[in-house]
Structure 1
Amino acid sequence: MPERGTRAAMHFDDVPIGDAYLTHEAVRAILERQDNRCAGCSAPLDAGSTYFDLRRPAICGGSHTLGNLAALCPSCHLSHMRRIREGFADHRNK
């Protein structure tokens, strides 16, 4: 961790984002990085039905940064959320 008053080199994908809302710039950056395609299945993304999920959830140690965000189609979003829920269920049952 850098000392107070010093600046560390930071990559654009490492910049923290807010917890509740993505800015238009953040959305544009994610979509450009993914060529306007779903991170799961590479289907073209529709502006009205694109989901933005943390690749690694915060509860699992994932960061709230652009580099940890992915744009997903509705089907891949559901699959992603199902895998997370199943992972937590498996963890609780052990």
Structure 2
Amino acid sequence: MTTGREEQAGIHLEDMLIIPGAYITDEIVRTVLERQCNRCAGCNAPLTAGSTHFDLRQPVICGGSHTSRNFEALCPFCHQNRMRRIRVRFADHRNK
């Protein structure tokens, strides 16, 4: 239930809902794809059903949340590059 402030601020209830675990529902998948106009968040390429990767914009370990607003859809190339950057970032952090 929203208090009205959220609606005035342009925040929707579904943006605040916590999504448990590592799985997302078909509804969240549709929401994310619609928000991105079925385009990759990284390179803006059109996304296909069989090759779309869903990831958190800000990983939970970095303070991100499992909310629909934190999910993004990526093409395989952008997802691979993103995972590589995250691994490097955490490896550098661990070595300090």
TM-score normalised by length of structure 2: 0.85
Residue range with higher mean Cα deviation, 17-26 or 46-55: 17-26
For residue 13 of structure 1, report the CA deviation from its aligned partner: 1.8
Residue 73 of structure 2 aligns to a residue whose secondary structure is strand
The answer to whether residue 7 in structure 2 is matched with residue 21 in structure 1 is: no
Q: How does 1:28-67 map to 2 (within 5 A)?
A: 28-67=30-69
| Residue 16 of structure 1: how far off its partner (Å) | 1.1
Structure 2 Cα separation of the partners of residues 71 and 35 of structure 1: 10
SS in 1 for 2:92: helix
User: Structure 1: how far apart are the matches of 2:36 and 2:61?
Assistant: 24
Alignment: residue pair count: 89
Task: Give unmatched runs, 5+ long, in structure 1.
Answer: 1-5
- SS of 1:85's equivalent in the other structure is helix
The answer for unaligned runs of 5 or more in structure 2 is none
User: Hey, which of these two has a bigger chunk of helix by percent?
Assistant: 2
State the percentage of identical aligned residues.
Answer: 64
Instruction: Report the alpha carbon displacement of residue 92 of structure 1 after superposing the two structures with TM.
Output: 1.0
> Which residue pairs with 1:3 in the alignment?
none
Which one of the candidate residues 52, 75, 78 is aligned to 1:76? 78
Alpha-carbon RMSD:
1.6
TM-score, scaled to structure 1: 0.87
